[in-house]
Chain A
């Protein structure tokens, strides 16, 4: 695998032409770069296409074949007409080309007027005109759903759920991890077994009974129904405990000598020392909660408590024809994870690789 490492020339050209020493470009080098370029295009391309599309007007989205950039037809205000008229480039039979505005279209003939001489209308067959277009970014795709739909409510709910659930998760998981890591007590092994045993129980196989429990507790159609049930993640307890085991016991003994209470030892000494592990769990918790779908779909049935994901799904069902709104809202939904990714990617990827969580 280390064949390229042997080449001293590290410029891009040097790497592209890296060989196995006999002067020929080995097929694996070509394959590597073709694969990487195609891979990046495939991974980012769809997201870029989504973002570009989200800035198109409704008319622009219905165009086939679609254009790459958000283009819109220029409209001009012509004297004597109340509405702005769409501008076209018209090629006349004698070969002259003029920019004209369309007044109305009847079948295959459109009535056009020169914006400079508004008095005179001309009949032009529609295949002789070509719309004049310019970059036009449809910000209203983003602003309108904020006014007309519950989008802000969904966003708000998602933020509340993510923040509250992450706080509770961190607190109770770190407390349990502290209890299991620092003390020798009767029943510790039983508790550990219990934690490991529940490590692999996915919500998908306990949907019905969990729904019953949540209903009995009166939490259906409240955000608590989404926040509470997933808080005690065995993965979190396990991860934090493994980390806390590495903390030197002398520190804790010294604190006890100084008459620190057990709670103070937990939050003044053990917690700060476990921050790297806690940060990993925090990032995961945020991702889990922000992206959660199946469980909220079951317990949230009223639109005022929808989270962003459920709202988006409902959007695309109801507003199938209004893709311009759906696309813009999808972009909003992917902004937070993209920001987290940009700032903390090194952290996330090492966290995943070392703990095997998702």
Chain B
């Protein structure tokens, strides 16, 4: 178990087996593609080669990322139930108006599209608690794992393991634990308490949605913070020790200020991911009970794909709203990263 050298990626060496594994498909494809590329070079010359190397990627990008981005706007200003844009009537801002129509915006039940607003409020609650708690626990874990403890590699691996599991597996593991006759209720009964129907009580459902999501993602942010901690020069701590500085003061005056750029990156990355919450919670609670754990992405999925009438226009309009939020968060992230690189 060796997760010790997080801060020094250059020291990593690959095993021969991994090398061979990574190499054979490349060799295979390269042999096949060699002929056309030589042919192209003979006709167009070296100067044109970079374009041909970039071309395949640009075609994929264009078709599945850039083009859809524009079509999304087109969808959001059309109505009807047809998937094909040519068959969809132009309705202007109607979809957005439909989403926005509320007697009282703080109360989702007064909205025409109450599921959308319920989704927004649920997402806000989720994001607030998930991000703040996850960053807090990632920080505590990183600080502890940064101490000179025995079996540090093992502990790091343990906290990181759930990051690799698929959302479906994560959700099924916890669903199994939280069932009415599950092991957690057995523990409660053993302590002389009553069973709790976790997925019937809306507040418990939200709690477990947040908890499970933190459980599954925390290791990733812990790792980024750990890398940041290891980059702090040790002589700062030695100097503080010589001066007899209290550890609390060392934390507030040395560790936190120097770790702050990493903390910001972690907070913004966690925000971007948290706003898009879907997989784990969808499998865990199905959005229920009722709409208690239904989030924006699930609203888009249900509206566009999983309901009787597939309302693509409305789903696209909701996507645009989500896209704007993510765009703002991304700008924030770019600003943070630029600041960090300057410092």
Write the residues of chain A forming the contact surface with B, with a CB cutoff of 8 angstroms: 1-5, 10, 12, 15, 28, 32-33, 35-36, 39-40, 42-44, 46-47, 49-50, 53, 62, 64-66, 167, 170-176, 178-180, 182-183, 185, 188, 191, 194-195, 198, 200-202, 204-213, 215-216, 228-232, 234, 237, 261-264, 266-267, 271-272, 275-276, 278-279, 282, 287, 290-291, 293-294, 297-298, 309, 312-313, 316, 323, 326-327, 330, 333-334, 337-338, 340-341, 343-354, 356, 358
Contact = CB atoms under 8 A, between A and B. Distances in A.
Contact of A232 (B5, B30, B60): B60
A276 B62 CA distance: 28
Contacts of B161: 43-44, 47, 341
8 contacts: A35-B144, A179-B52, A198-B61, A262-B49, A346-B12, A352-B220, A353-B9, A358-B273
Interface in B43-101: 46-47, 49-54, 56-58, 60-61, 63-72, 74-75, 83-85
B155 A39 contact: yes
A345 B176 contact: no
* 5 interchain residue pairs of minimum CB distance: A179-B53, A232-B60, A291-B166, A209-B71, A209-B68
B14 A266 contact: no
Contacts of B37: 261-263
Interface residues on B, range: 35 or more
Contacts of B147: 1-4, 32
A350 B46 contact: no
A1 B139 CA distance: 13
Interface string B133-170: 00000001101101111100001111111111111110
B326 interface: yes
A263 B54 CA distance: 13
A330 B168 CA distance: 8
B177 A49 contact: yes
Interface stretch (B15-23, B111-119, B199-207): B15-23
Contacts of A202: 276, 326
B41 A172 contact: no
Contacts of B165: 47, 291, 334, 337
B35 to A, nearest CB: 9
Contacts of B168: 291, 293, 309, 312-313, 330, 333
Given A2-B234, A175-B56, A179-B53, A209 B67 contact: yes
A47 B41 CA distance: 54
Contact of B166 (A5, A207, A323, A337): A337
Interface stretch (B102-110, B124-132, B315-323): B315-323
Q: Is the interface of A mostly helix, strand, loop or mixed?
A: helix
A211 B83 contact: yes
Contacts of B75: 208-209, 212
B287 interface: no
Given A293-B166, A343-B18, A346-B12, 6 more contacts: A66-B181, A173-B57, A175-B53, A290-B166, A294-B278, A347-B14
Given A2-B148, A2-B237, A350 B34 contact: no
B291 interface: no
A64 B304 contact: no
Given A1-B146, A28-B247, A35-B144, A287 B5 contact: no
Contacts of A171: 26, 29, 56
Query: Most chain-B CB neighbours within 10 Å: which of A33, A47, A263?
Result: A263
Contacts of A230: 64
Contacts of B122: none
B50 to A, nearest CB: 4
Nearest to A202: B276
B197 interface: no
A4 B278 contact: no
Contact of B141 (A39, A174, A279): A39
A272 B23 CA distance: 8
